[in-house]
Structure 1
Amino acid sequence: MQEVKKQLEVLLVNYFRDCYSDFPKGKVVASESPDFVVKMKNKHKLGIELTRLNPASAVAKTEGVQALINFRDDLVADMLELFQAGSEANLFVKFMFSEKHLITPQRELMVRSKTVAAIKSAIADKADSAFFHKNLTNHDLPEGMEEVMIAHHPELKESVWERSNNLGISNNVVDDIRLAIAKKDEKLHLYRKQQLDEYWLLITTDCLRADKNINLLNKINNEEFESRFQQVFLLDLMRARVTPLIEN
Structure 2
Amino acid sequence: MTDKKKIELQVLMLFRKLYGEFPNGKIVQNESPDFLVKVNRRKKLGIELTELHGQEFYEQQGHLTEPEKINEHIEDTIRAKEEKIYLYQKHKPFQLWLLIHIESFQNKLLFNFQNKIGNWNFPSDFDRIFLMEIENEKLFEIN
The normalised TM-score by structure 1 is 0.53
State whether residues 35 and 48 of structure 1, in contact with CA within 8 Å, keep that contact through their aligned partners in structure 2: yes
What is residue 232 of structure 1 aligned with on the other side? Answer: 129
What is residue 69 of structure 2 aligned with on the other side? Answer: 172
State whether residues 78 and 124 of structure 2, in contact with CA within 8 Å, keep that contact through their aligned partners in structure 1: yes
Q: In structure 2, what is the Cα distance between the partners aligned to 1:42 and 1:241?
A: 32
The normalised TM-score by structure 2 is 0.88
Identity value in percent: 34
How many correspondences in the alignment?
A: 143
TM superposition shift of 1:17: 0.3
Structure 1 residues 22 and 212: CA distance shift in structure 2, 3 A? closer
Structure 1 residues 215 and 209: CA distance shift in structure 2, 3 A? farther
Structure showing the higher helix proportion among its residues: 1
What is residue 35 of structure 1 aligned with on the other side? Answer: 34
* Structure 2 residue ranges without an equivalent (≥5): none
Q: In structure 2, what is the Cα distance between the partners aligned to 1:195 and 1:211?
A: 39
Structure 1 residue matching 2:6: 3-state secondary structure: helix
Structure showing the higher strand proportion among its residues: 2
Matches within 5 A, 1:1-248: 3-41=2-40, 43-55=42-54, 73=59, 162-163=60-61, 165-166=62-63, 168-209=65-106, 211=108, 213-246=110-143
State whether residues 55 and 176 of structure 1, in contact with CA within 8 Å, keep that contact through their aligned partners in structure 2: yes
TM superposition shift of 1:211: 4.8
* Structure 1 residue ranges without an equivalent (≥5): 59-68, 74-161
TM superposition shift of 1:212: 6.0
What is residue 76 of structure 1 aligned with on the other side? Answer: none
Identify which of structures 1 and 2 has the higher relative contact order when contacts are C-alpha pairs closer than 8 Å and 6+ apart.
Answer: 1
State whether residues 208 and 216 of structure 1, in contact with CA within 8 Å, keep that contact through their aligned partners in structure 2: no
Amino acid at match of 1:216: F
Q: In structure 1, what is the Cα distance between the partners aligned to 2:68 and 2:110?
A: 12
Task: From the CA coordinates, give the structure whose radius of gyration is larger.
Answer: 1
Amino acid at match of 1:195: K
Structure 1 residue matching 2:115: 3-state secondary structure: helix
TM superposition shift of 1:40: 1.1
State whether residues 210 and 216 of structure 1, in contact with CA within 8 Å, keep that contact through their aligned partners in structure 2: no
